[in-house]
Amino acid sequence: MDRILEQNDFYISPEDVVSYDRMVCKYQRFVHNLFANRVIKGSQKKGSMLDIGTGTGQIIIELAKKDFFREIIAMDSSNCMLDMSRKNAKDIFVKGKITFCKADFLQYNFGEKKFDTICCHNTLHHFVDPQKAIEKMISILRPGGAIFIQDIFRPSEWIMPVYIFVFAGVKDIRIRKQYRESLMASLSVNEWKIIFKKIKLEGSCIKYHFPSHISISKKDDCYH
């Protein structure tokens, strides 16, 4: 089953974003919270953090609540996603701790800016060339910093309906459609392994999380 990219994020509607945020809160909050905890445990305290593809902000909000990083930059290419992220952060009273940035990560010029921690959760499948995206992350990471990449992987065709049922529910047709499109756009396990070999990220690990997620993390001690 070949990879099929999703529609361009610039055209996501407010209705799509509301459905997505509802799915995250109802079905994937546990996964997101565990990811946030891994980031905290494997990062430098009071360092700078970049979140790529922040979506509706559920992960950066968890990080901001812990007051661990001195700087959190939340980047997304979708205005609708960032609007929802700002609203969610404001509702939890952490908006002032986060800098929101509307930009295409691959096109954005960071100049001399470097980060202690870089996160990319459920976003890698949006890139046409995921390897290029990872290589850019490495280029803006400070020495000794940490990269945390975690995403869904594309299951076999026969098991995909099971994934949709478990992680997207059965009631909301829009959510089911969104999740199926995300699965189709994600990398297969073999594609993940090929990229992992090519990037040669020193001190990195590849690991499975639940039946649905896979990750690449970089830390001096290869923390997981």
Closest CA to 219 of 58, 44, 97: 44
| Digit-coded pLDDT (tens) for 68-101 | 999 999 999 999 999 999 999 998 888 889 999 9
Q: What is the pLDDT of residue 27?
A: 65
| Domain at 9-218: CATH code | 3.40.50.150
| Digit-coded pLDDT (tens) for 127-161 | 999 999 999 999 999 998 999 999 999 998 899 99
Q: Using the predicted structure, report yes or no on whether residue 222 has a pLDDT greater than 50.
A: no
Q: Using the predicted structure, report yes or no on whether residue 14 has a pLDDT greater than 90.
A: no
Q: Using the predicted structure, report yes or no on whether residue 218 has a pLDDT greater than 70.
A: no
Domain boundaries, the chain: 9-218
CA distance 5 to 17: 18
Q: What is the pLDDT of residue 3?
A: 92
Which of 18-22, 154-158, 169-173 has the lowest average pLDDT?
A: 169-173
Average pLDDT over residues 24-42: 85
Q: What is the pLDDT of residue 147?
A: 92
CA distance 23 to 166: 11
| Digit-coded pLDDT (tens) for 183-203 | 999 999 999 999 999 987 877
Strand ordering across the sheet containing 213-218: 99-102, 71-76, 48-52, 115-121, 141-152, 213-218, 204-209
